[in-house]
Structure 1
Amino acid sequence: MSATKPLEGLRVLDLTVALAGPYGSLLLGGLGAEVIRVEAPGGGDIARNNPPYVGEDGIHFGVRHDHEVSLTTLNRARNKKSITLDLKSPRGKAIFMRLVKECDVVIENASEGVTARLGVDYESVREANPRIIYASVKAFGEPSPYPRLKGMDIIVQALSGIMDVTGFADGPPTRIGLPMADLIAPLFAVNGILSALIHRGKTGEGQRVQVSMLDCLASMVAEEHFDVFQAHGYPKRSGNFHDRLVPFGVYGTKDGHVALVAFQPDWFQSLTEAMGQPELANGPRYATRGPRMKHAAGLNTLIEAWTQQHTSAEVIHELQEKRGVPAARVRSPHEVLHDPVLKERGAVVKLEHPGLADIDAMGMGLPIQFSKTPVQFDQPAQALGAANSEIYRDLLKLSEAELAQLHDQGVI
């Protein structure tokens, strides 16, 4: 394999905070880009105060001490060079624009209007570097249709409709168990950045890339035709089942739960045989998928009455191993995070602390495999401002006297 990562040679100026932005710059860093993360002196990312904290006494959920780091930061700040810079000061903004001239990409997810007030919005940055790719990840877009509303993940889930189609038909709307808006939007942002870089390679033109968390989730809600289903009397929430593809769901067993899929004719026939009720496959209610949708609740009850008589392993043996019907045990997060196969492939990786030999915590991996180039989040998170000297002295050629002055004035 080549020692060069796919994005090696690209330089990214990272103004992001929280999760939606930092996950995007984390991906770029794992793919090989040099990511320079800019925070205010003292730390500008609210995620630095997320418990649990890691220090010499291990991992805890108490009060953070000065020498301790949030586990969140150890996860999201990998493969990034940390610098401090006061963008509110004239000298800080001037230094920022010098950095812009040395970079290919700027990525930010500030609240609406913040970058304009600071003078680091796309129009200002483009004047310094017309070739820049300027990526903005916002909660609701800019201008926002909800100008006074803070763009937290749960708020975006609520507005997107995805919460209203999650949960059981007779229950309340349900938040997805992961911050999906925060995680999905940066995937679209990175796609947009890479596409803009390809366009720049063809034309020499930089441009702005805009991604809205709300737009991203809403586009996914549109994948299912909920408007059509509702017009025909189907509930918008179906819990652990997907009635359009019944049998398709999660069923209880003696010792847990299994997910199984048997909507294909041969799979359904095999399932009914395993249940000891082969006649179900030819009956008028269940023989074809249209009528089966209308009688999904009854069919799911019959299936679960059978699965509950067996352990998960027995159900999987009867279906997946003997008959080729897709079935799998519902695993816990702990099992997944310590799955040796997922560890080997780099989907989950052990987190490192720059000052500690070992911590017992797993982090997000980079789940992309290249045949020629290695990729991974292989550089631990830096201490705040750890790269100040490298970036300001080596990249911008500031003297030691200038660095000392900037530090004394609180600019860096």
Structure 2
Amino acid sequence: MISDHPRPLDGIRVLDLTVALAGPYGSLMLGGMGAEVIRVEAPGGGDIARTNPPFVGSEGIHFGERKDDDVSLTILNRARNKKSITLDLKSEQGRELFMRLAEMSDVLLENLSEGTTVKLGVDYEKVRRRNPRIVYASVKAMGEPSAFPGLKGMDIIIQALSGLMEVTGDADGPPTRCGLPIADLVAPMYAVNGILAALIHRGRTGEGQRVQVSMLDCMTSWLAEEHFDVMAREGYPCRTGNYHDRLAPFGVYPTQDGYVAIVAFQPDWMRGLLEAIGQPAFLDDPRFSSRGPRMRNAAALNRSIAEWTSQHVTADVVRELFADRGVPCAPVRKPLEVLDDPRLHASGALMNLSHPRFGPIDAVGMGLPIQFSATPSQFDQPARALGEANQEIYGGLLNLGPQELGALREAGVV
């Protein structure tokens, strides 16, 4: 249900030329905060994500062949709060319509493959000539020009090139992919930050500009937070699995019915943990009495903690450490537990999805995890069918008459 409350980005129009996830997630956030997002897709097919299983239709959610009334669950999640139009940018008429929309927009967000906007004639320089005030944001896999020409920037490729995989996993195991497409999700968040900053600058000066974000740059900047270069020189492995030895004890430990995460590097937390596991003498042991030596001897300390946690059920470990002693400790929850947490639904971090024809469905989608005191915002408009907003945008915003729009449709331009 669309809220009547004003939103932070009311009055901002975004021309959305994004595909897949790194890009659509950015326009999703902008739409949730109130921007009018006009999503441009190719006639006849649209974003490849529209073919992602599972599908939702009259027969419910399934992983079979897509039927005529089926919609990808991916689209129901990522295309909310957006108006879908179709437009063939390879045609001269299509490019002119796009430029007319760009003249009336505040932001253009794109994440097309390197060089594509130039080939299509909708690159920053050409758009800026038509609208000097526009904020033109680009999310690229490895920058533009790319340091790896021709290489497709899928999330796993970025995780590999950024070093993220090499620092994830056990020291004696292989590099490990993060379980979520983290590069695809992080880069658009940086892009949104850049867009909002550029809009503030435009508000002061009237000047638009280009905002560029590289998925590889984003993930590499995160890598530098942990000083792996210094630790490698000291002989520490890059991968430490479920433990963070610099902050030992800090890790994930087995219980009789699951796992718990424990953090106890502060002196009072350390004392509480060691008393709980029956090893108070460790407080005076030179191996563990201060953080420097403790890092060198983290494996021995972790073994002692795991021996104790593995003798108890998760709830008892959490109660003993956190409730009774104030040591940060939490159960490792399974995804289904988290997706069913009413508190996360109440906060807006999670929300149930809805099919535009069949209503609510049994699937959880991303919420907007930002709470505003004066301008409540959320993804409350269901995903639109491909080209569903053609009449609204071309007929209403661009004032094209029925005959003109019909001719464009007949020619395959829209």
TM bin (shorter chain)? over 0.9
2:164 aligned partner: 162
CA distance in 1, matches of 2:374, 2:12: 18
**For the Cα contact (< 8 Å) 1:2–1:373, is it kept in 2?**
no
Deviation by residue 1:223-252 (Cα, 9 ceiling, x = unmatched): 000010010011100000000000000000
**For the Cα contact (< 8 Å) 1:166–1:174, is it kept in 2?**
yes
**For the Cα contact (< 8 Å) 2:46–2:386, is it kept in 1?**
no
Deviation by residue 1:133-166 (Cα, 9 ceiling, x = unmatched): 0000000000001111000000000000011000
- 1:369 pairs, out of 368, 371, 375, with 371
Write the letter of the residue equivalent to 1:57: E
Write the letter of the residue equivalent to 2:395: R
Report the identity percentage. Answer: 68
CA distance in 2, matches of 1:316, 1:53: 40
1:175 aligned partner: 177
CA distance in 2, matches of 1:363, 1:43: 23
1:192-211 to 2 correspondences below 5 Å: 192-211=194-213
1:258 aligned partner: 260
1:43 aligned partner: 45
CA distance in 1, matches of 2:286, 2:125: 65
- 1:295 pairs, out of 294, 297, 313, with 297
- 2:106 pairs, out of 104, 107, 124, with 104
CA distance in 1, matches of 2:22, 2:114: 15
2:356 aligned partner: 354
CA distance in 1, matches of 2:218, 2:149: 18
2:249 aligned partner: 247
CA distance in 1, matches of 2:182, 2:48: 19
Compute the displacement of 1:111 (Å): 0.3
CA distance in 2, matches of 1:65, 1:411: 25
CA distance in 2, matches of 1:292, 1:2: 56
Deviation by residue 1:80-124 (Cα, 9 ceiling, x = unmatched): 001001111111111001101110000000000100000000011
* SS of match in other structure, 2:109: strand
2:219 aligned partner: 217
Report whether the alignment pairs 1:24 with 2:18: no
Write the letter of the residue equivalent to 1:286: F
CA distance in 2, matches of 1:122, 1:52: 36
CA distance in 2, matches of 1:42, 1:53: 18
Write the letter of the residue equivalent to 1:401: Q
Write the letter of the residue equivalent to 1:363: G
* SS of match in other structure, 2:179: coil
1:91 aligned partner: 93
**For the Cα contact (< 8 Å) 1:2–1:372, is it kept in 2?**
no
Q: Which moved more, 1:372-381 or 1:62-71?
A: 62-71
1:295-314 to 2 correspondences below 5 Å: 295-314=297-316
2:145 aligned partner: 143
Report whether the alignment pairs 1:345 with 2:347: yes
Write the letter of the residue equivalent to 1:327: C
The structure 1 segments of at least 4 consecutive aligned residues displaced by more than 4 Å after TM superposition are none
* SS of match in other structure, 2:61: strand
* SS of match in other structure, 1:130: coil
Report whether the alignment pairs 1:335 with 2:337: yes
1:114-125 to 2 correspondences below 5 Å: 114-125=116-127
Q: Give the aligned length.
A: 412
Structure 2 residue runs of 5 or longer lacking an equivalent are none
Change (3 A) 1:66 1:2: closer
Compute the displacement of 1:46 (Å): 1.1
**For the Cα contact (< 8 Å) 1:2–1:374, is it kept in 2?**
no
Compute the displacement of 1:43 (Å): 2.5
Q: Which moved more, 1:57-66 or 1:193-202?
A: 57-66
CA distance in 2, matches of 1:321, 1:350: 32
Compute the displacement of 1:2 (Å): 8.2
1:64 aligned partner: 66
Q: Which moved more, 1:202-211 or 1:276-285?
A: 276-285
TM-score by length of 2: 0.99
1:381-396 to 2 correspondences below 5 Å: 381-396=383-398
